[in-house]
Structure formats: structure tokens, C-alpha cells
A and B are shown apart, each in its own frame.
Chain A
Amino acid sequence: MWIKRLTNFFTAIYTNPTGRVVLLTLYYLAIIAGLIIMYGRGNFTTPKFVYQGF
């Protein structure tokens, strides 16, 4: 039941031009946030080596 109400709610927003833009913006931001979380960490480690005094 709540799924149908939620679908109707988003459909109503999506049919409104401004609402559609807002929803799409949130959708894109969620994708960007997901990408940052998955691939955002940098790798600052360097290969190990044995220092032999020169």
C-alpha cells in the first residue's frame, strides 16, 4: 500500500516540470555521491623498498 502511495507521490512530482528537475537533480547527486564513496579515496602509498644506506 505504502509503495503505491510513494509511487503516486513521485509521479505527481515528476509530472510537474519544476518537480521533475528537482527529482532529477537529487537523482544525479545521489549517483555522484555514490561514485565519490566508491572511488573517491586516493591512494598515497608508495612501493616498499629496502634502503641499503646508499
Chain B
Amino acid sequence: MKQISHLTAAIFSLCVLIVVLIGFNGYARSIERQYVNALAPLDLTQTVNGIALQQAALYQSDLLPFYGSSEITLINTPYQAEKFFATYPTGFTVFQVANLGAGSLTMAQNLAALGPDLKGKKVVISITPAPFTFSPLREDYYAGNYTRLHAYGLIFSPYLSMELKSTAAQRMLGHPKTLEADPFLEFTLNHMTDASIQSRVLYVIMFPLGALQTEVMWLQDHAEVILYIWNHHIDPNVQHIPYKIRWSKNFSAAHAEQKLHALSNPYGIEDWRWKLFQGKSKVPYQPGSGDAGFLRFLQSAEEWQDFKILLDVLQELGAKPLILSRPINGRYWEAVGVSGQAQDAFYTKLHAVVDPYHMTLVDYQQYTNEIYFSIDSVSHTSRYGWVYVDKTLNQFFHGNLH
């Protein structure tokens, strides 16, 4: 009888726990949707490293999720989309999910963790040519952007194909430092990359445990957001100030401002960037002397594999993305020996990869020789470049991008 009492009490306790957690989950989601517009410009850790706020943003008709990396965050300017659209001038603002050094694999994990919430939703994926043409992202950048919630969200997603998850697992194993403290995930990844029946059975056994762990982390994410809202006096009502954007005026002002920041060289590179890096290289090089190295890197860059994983995630989850690339700083790259023809190979390959997915792609190839579009050789967006980006985002949100 005593044993039955323990069993009955344990079952009751679990039932109460489940009911409480379901209730908390529902409460958290409703609060997050209420506050997400107010939290959007704050760039919280939970915005980038969590899921709850990103998920809430997907359900707001006036927020456009905007994923990317340093091209979004490196310079602080009123032309940055987050600030440019801060007052919802045309009815929306961006929900920025970006961090320095974030690559395609990081974004793939992040978006995979959103699961079916992405279906039919417009999202913007911002990329730059640099990791495809110049240098791989450093290991510490990947580690610095890695979160367990997103990694588990991809690997234990019931909404993605096994083939895609296996490919992602293979790439994640290439970053062993992030798996050192997580033997469970490492074990799972190792078996996912092995197509034997034994390994597949092991994955099936591991799956419920991984899915449960994902749910726990998701609840922890909700708790962090709710605690933040409780501990800070935030007004959920965000002011909307509609006005007509004068694009030509913004282009002129941003161009003039950008010129003042790039006086030390003929390539439009901002003075602090020129002083830090590019000024150390002795330009110009022999024309075409850098083509072979450029093309070799372009063909073999591992970032393409991660980028395809990202596109597969978006496709399998039914998102409606805009792939927003940036132009190569053509003048500078010509000066270091990479001809325009070699540079064009990047745009050609980008289209060859993206076009089969039938996703909207903007590459700004026509601005390759516009020296003030970027602040440096690796296409970090300038003030002037931001106005182009803002205009594209506005067109994409309103369905006018052709």
C-alpha cells in the first residue's frame, strides 16, 4: 500500500509539474508577444542566443526578422536598419538578430531551432562575400556565437530531414571546442554522421532525450525573458511615427558623410580600417596576379557548405527569405591583383547556389565599383551602403522587391 502511495504521489507530482510548465509556457509566450516590439531595439543576449523573442517576433506583423553578422553591427550609424526604421516610418521595423563573426552554420542552427514557426514567414538573411572569397571565419568566432539551445534545436528537430541534420552534424563536428563540455551531443553527432543501422538506431534512442533537453532549454529561455521583463520597467507600447522616406535625400546625405570618413585612400575604406589593416599592404599589385588564389579559395571555401545547410533549413521549414549579400569592394580587390572577371565568379557562384532554391536574392553586384558602399575590403556596410540596404528591406517587407 505504501509503495502504491509513493507511485500515485509521484504520478500526481509529475502531472502538476507538466500542467504548471504548460501554463508557464503559454503565459511566457503571451507576455513575449506583448513586449517584443519594445525589446527589439535593446539587442538583448536572449534575442541573439535564445529563441523565445525570435519566435515572438515572427508573429508580429510589423517586425521583419533580420539575421546577419558584422556587416550589420560593426558601425554605429542612424542609417543602420534598426535605427533607420526605429519609428516604423513605413509600418515596420527590423528585428535584428546579429552578432560579430556569426557565420552561415550559426544562422542555420538558430533558424532550425525556430522550427515550424518559420513557415510562410518573411526573414532576411544577410551575408558578405568575405567568408566565401577571402578567409574562413575564425574558430573563436564560431565558438563565441555557439549556443546549445540552437545546436540542439537543429540536431533534434523533428521538422528537418535526416539527410540535412547529418550534413549539419558533420560540419558541427568540425568545431570540437564547442562540444567539449557536451558529450551527449558529441556522441549523437558522431552517430548521425554514420549511416550504419546501428548508428541510426542509437540516434532514434537519443532523440527523445535530446528533444526533452531542448524543451528544458526553451523553458529556461522563456524564464530569462520573463525575468528581464519583470525586473525592468518596460513600456510595451512602441510609438509608430509614419512618414514618407525621401530616399534621394538620404542617399546624398549618407554619401557625403561616408566620404568624410574615408579620406586616406582611393578605395573608400574608412580611415580607421585603412590604418588598422589595409594600409599595411602595398597596393597596387600586378593586375590579375591575385586571381588564382582568389578563385581557388572561392571554389573550396567551407562556408559554401554551411550556406547550403542554411538554405536547406529555410526551405525545409517553409520560410520566405530574402538572401541579402553585399558587393565586393571591386576597386580595392583590383588593386590587390584580383581582376573584375575573377570577382564576378563570386556572384556567378552565389546565383548558382541560391537560384535552385527559388529564393529572393539581392547581391548588389552593380555596386561593385561604388567605393563608398563598404567601409573596408571585406564589405562591412557603410553609411551609404546602409541606405541601399534599407531601401531593399523596405521593398521586401512591402512586397515590392522584384
A contacts, CB < 8 Å to B: 17, 20-25, 27-29, 32, 40-42, 44-49, 51-54
Contacts of B284 in A (CB 8 A): none
Question: Does B206 have its Cβ within 8 Å of any Cβ on chain A?
Answer: no
Contacts of B5 in A (CB 8 A): 17, 20-21, 24
Are A29 and B17 in contact, with the CB atoms below 8 A? yes
CA distance A41 to B220 in the complex (A): 6
Q: Which chain B residues numbered 76 to 95 have a C-beta less than 8 Å away from chain A?
A: none
Query: Which 8 A-B pairs give the minimum distances between C-beta atoms?
Result: A42-B220, A24-B9, A28-B13, A49-B144, A51-B100, A49-B140, A44-B49, A25-B9
CA distance A51 to B399 in the complex (A): 35
Are A42 and B223 in contact, with the CB atoms below 8 A? yes
CA distance A32 to B15 in the complex (A): 12
Question: Does B143 have its Cβ within 8 Å of any Cβ on chain A?
Answer: yes
Are A46 and B70 in contact, with the CB atoms below 8 A? no
B1-26: CB near A (< 8 Å → 1, else 0) gives: 11001101110110011000000000
CA distance A20 to B9 in the complex (A): 9
Question: Does B199 have its Cβ within 8 Å of any Cβ on chain A?
Answer: no
Contacts of A42 in B (CB 8 A): 149, 217, 220-221, 223-224
Contacts of A54 in B (CB 8 A): 70, 130, 134-135, 378
* CB-CB nearest in chain B for A19: B5
CA distance A3 to B217 in the complex (A): 42
- Indicate the member of A21, A27, A44, A47 with the most B CB atoms within 10 Å: A44
B123-135: CB near A (< 8 Å → 1, else 0) gives: 0000000100011
CA distance A24 to B5 in the complex (A): 8
CA distance A40 to B380 in the complex (A): 39
Contacts of B130 in A (CB 8 A): 54
B contacts, CB < 8 Å to A: 1-2, 5-6, 8-10, 12-13, 16-17, 45-46, 49-50, 70, 74, 100-101, 130, 134-135, 138, 140-141, 143-147, 149, 217, 220-221, 223-224, 273, 276-277, 376, 378, 380
Interface residue SS majority, chain B: helix
CA distance A54 to B70 in the complex (A): 9
Are B50 and A53 in contact, with the CB atoms below 8 A? no
Report if A44-B140 is in contact (Cβ < 8 Å); known contacts: A21-B12, A28-B10, A54-B135. Answer: no
11 pairs across A/B with beta carbons < 8 Å?
A: A24-B5, A25-B16, A27-B9, A28-B9, A32-B17, A41-B223, A44-B46, A44-B224, A45-B45, A49-B144, A53-B380
Contacts of A45 in B (CB 8 A): 45, 49
Are B144 and A44 in contact, with the CB atoms below 8 A? no
Contacts of B220 in A (CB 8 A): 40-42, 44
Contacts of A40 in B (CB 8 A): 220, 223
CA distance A54 to B137 in the complex (A): 7
Are A51 and B141 in contact, with the CB atoms below 8 A? yes
Are B145 and A51 in contact, with the CB atoms below 8 A? no
Contacts of A46 in B (CB 8 A): 49, 143-147
* CB-CB nearest in chain A for B139: A49
CA distance A3 to B12 in the complex (A): 28
Are B217 and A49 in contact, with the CB atoms below 8 A? no
